[in-house]
Amino acid sequence: MSKMSAAKFYCVATSTGALGKNKGCGKAPAFLSELFGARASAFRLAGNDLFEQQKLVFRQAKKAFSSSGKKRVVFFGGTHDITCQLFRAFAARHENASLVVLDAHADCDHGILSMPSHEDWLRALIENKIVPAERVMLFGARKIFPSEKKFLENSGICRANSISALRGFIHKNKNVYFSFDVDVLDPKIMPSTHYLESRGIGLEGAKRIAGMLLSSASVKAVDIVEFNPLKAQKKSSETLLAVFKGLCRNNVARIECDQKQKVGRIPQRD
């Protein structure tokens, strides 16, 4: 891992912000915490009202960061809209907070802070001045809609597809939140999500990127989102364990000692 102490893990089990497009994603936190062998606390989220759930996520994220000490905080989602409230809480705790987003999409469609979906959460953060665009790095985006393209050009968000550019961004920022949408990966190695965009990041590239980020003490929080265990395949589990080898100490042991037994375990469909 990094020079930071061991991480604290949280499950944020909601898919309400997917607007019905990634059903089953809310089951991912339990799946991921088991996959990584992480002892995770669960956020208490009731009902299907998006506005109320966003408020609950924000409140509980603030408590998570206030009790983290020097430990990195890791969130298992859930759909990508949760990052809006998770980062809000992170920014309230850390001065000059920065955001690194690995995602096949820009997620800059509209921008309503109180009720963002997985299509507009990043724009909501910027337009509501939670984080300045120059402290946001969007990496790996390859499906961008016309309205999003205009916003990206005008806002000044940092965009890159090279590890060297990402490394430079990390060196310049000391309080970094790292958000990982699994659809940034190529569908050949990550079929377990709703949006499958071709020509994504391959396994070796993803391992180098995640390894560089997780080894940095500047990265103080991480989330993994948009994984759908109802579409889970052994390949997807193998990919996540390989990419996030340094996420959890138990994860390293799992890969090295009993990968054959654990990787292929898939929850039963409802």
CA atoms in the 13 A half-sphere facing the CB of 85: 30
Confidence band (pLDDT; 50, 70, 90) for 41?
very high
What residues make up the domain containing 51? 7-262
Domain count within the chain: 1
Give the pLDDT confidence score for residue 261 in this predicted structure.
42
Summary mean pLDDT of the chain = 86
What value, to the nearest 5°, has the Cα angle with vertex 91 and ends 193 and 220?
65
The string of DSSP letters for 235-255 reads HHHHHHHHHTTTS-HHHHHHH
Q: How does strand 176-181 pair with strand 98-102?
A: parallel
For residue 165, is pLDDT > 80?
Answer: yes
Residue 92 covered by a domain: yes
Give residues with Cβ within 8 angstroms of 146, minimum separation 6: none
Residue 142 covered by a domain: yes
Choice between 115 and 91, residue whose per-residue pLDDT is larger: 91
Give the pLDDT confidence score for residue 45 in this predicted structure.
86
For 52-63, the three-class secondary structure string (H helix, E strand, C coil) is: HHHHHHHHHHHH
Q: Specify the CATH number for the domain of residue 125.
A: 3.40.800.10
Residue 2 covered by a domain: no
List % helix, strand, coil for the chain (3-state, nearest 5): 45, 15, 40
pLDDT in tens, 57-90: 999 999 999 999 999 999 999 899 999 999 999 9
Confidence band (pLDDT; 50, 70, 90) for 212?
very high
Beta strands in 108-233 (DSSP E): 136-139, 158-160, 176-181, 219-225
For residue 252, is pLDDT > 60?
Answer: no
Confidence band (pLDDT; 50, 70, 90) for 268?
very low
Residue 103 covered by a domain: yes
Question: Averaged over 137-159, what is the pLDDT?
Answer: 92
Residue 219 covered by a domain: yes
CB contact at 8 A, 83 and 19: no
Q: How far is CA 231 from CA 38, 155, 236, 246, in A?
A: 22, 35, 9, 25
Residue 206 covered by a domain: yes
Residue 1 covered by a domain: no
Question: Averaged over 176-183, what is the pLDDT?
Answer: 98
pTM (predicted TM-score):
0.88
Residue 267 covered by a domain: no
